[in-house]
Structure 1
């Protein structure tokens, strides 16, 4: 077996999309006892990839410099430690079709991944479909449950900024169904009648769904959020009073949970649109990291607001395994039965990686960009 592989590289270590090229001789990773070696069939593109390419989002210490956070492929080496499944058979074997989330390295012919992070690919799913799932759905799950701490009794409204982005498309769908989670149901009501000594147990219905709002900077994407994703309403943030428009659509009330990818330029508006005891989860800084002058933070105190930021790649392995398990529990059944839609905007041959990055940077997409790896 060759010790090298092909992988996407960057001329000079960082630069524009035009600096990307396929390096024909990169050291092939070797799995440890707790890892699998997977031959990659397809990989997903993420905004973090463009930031790393530019040199502004370096990989964690000890992680490969190769771009790429998600993939699909075939197990080629299952490692020398054999984990057993519930039936006593090996959990992973050579030839298994899988997909998963990485700390880096996905833009390559081979990746190594901790066995606990692998997910079995259903036969009905294409390589392209599976390759683009993890980063967006894990990020949406993290924002809603682990950072946003969604509670169906307290959080009756949720706002996703950049509503036509891949993560928000996933998050909006999760939000519309979050109240149906088994762990959010109320315990059954038990009534005892003493004269007849009869006990009746009546299951309480799940809470009603939250109102789910979205924003975008184009009317077309706002229409997409309402017509395709079934948002309660979507508002163009170029509207000078978009905060008040959303409150009006929410019966005059503020929003309980805001998920934001923009950062500094939306900070004041996020505080203004927030409800009492509301939460803001910041997942990106597309609008800058330095707050404008005269930002009024008084609503933080007055509304008892909580603002928290997070990135997925900085989380430790145990945290990511938790998200992987949440994905299997809360997302995969919905993807399988059609409750959730997963949007792929375009599929590229990986030789066209420059074009794929350029398309992502133009902010034209309403879904995932995927690259497939050919055999030649």
Structure 2
């Protein structure tokens, strides 16, 4: 279940019946103005008709209403001053309506052009996310999985958070990470690490050897021409896990990343690394040793892998999202059902807007029959 790309279709406008509102206003003002005493002039109120039309109409609708307002002002002038045809006052009002109507049409054209550009940007970002971060398959051998990606910026839809899963001959390997920084540089670093993981995770190397290779891949990228000065400033926190098909213990290497959580019968168990390694990309500076740690993952358990965009999400009072406290007592054993509830709970906590991208991966080991 991959989220975070909602509302990409063109937003619909209210029904065409709304155009009757400014037209009725024009008719009402015109009738009252013609019947009113000579010293009362209601013509300036006609400008309200084209002024409200952009809220539900496009350039053509606005132009039509503005033209009707100009015609109405002309008719009012002719009927009120039949001898002089049009007074200077009515001519000034007509010119004002023409100016306002033209300005509103131009505004609507620019607005629709920018809306089209925004739709194109969202379409491209959706395609980029599906290439770089395709949703996890629902089945990973005997495991079930689901993924949630929530972008902080609706226009971007993709950032430096990353995840991937690879099947091996004996199990499943997963990575969840977070690139320091934002923008296209973070996306580039994330795609590089994901590519390296997808290629190397199939090999029969041990988990610590795999993580060492991923660290070298990030360091090599920082050493490329044009990347001068990024060494030591760019890094990627990550947790890499290996879930055997026939063993109920998960192997893990943590590189400065938030710890996984195992949800067992409604009780969240945080898996803190006893020997965490530094983030990927700092290997040349820290010369790390990667310790493989294990923890139980029994049938019926849910394994939660996530980024700090979740645990550092704040509510209006500045309180961080307390992940383990919020999910305590949740008894969902289905990945999709858990993520649906979690997504609602997280967005309720932050008031509907995240300050940072957030990823949650849920892996379920189904109960043995």
With the length of structure 2 as denominator, give the TM-score of the two structures.
0.23
Whose helix proportion is higher, 1 or 2?
A: 2
With the length of structure 1 as denominator, give the TM-score of the two structures.
0.22
Larger radius of gyration: 2
Whose strand proportion is higher, 1 or 2?
A: 1
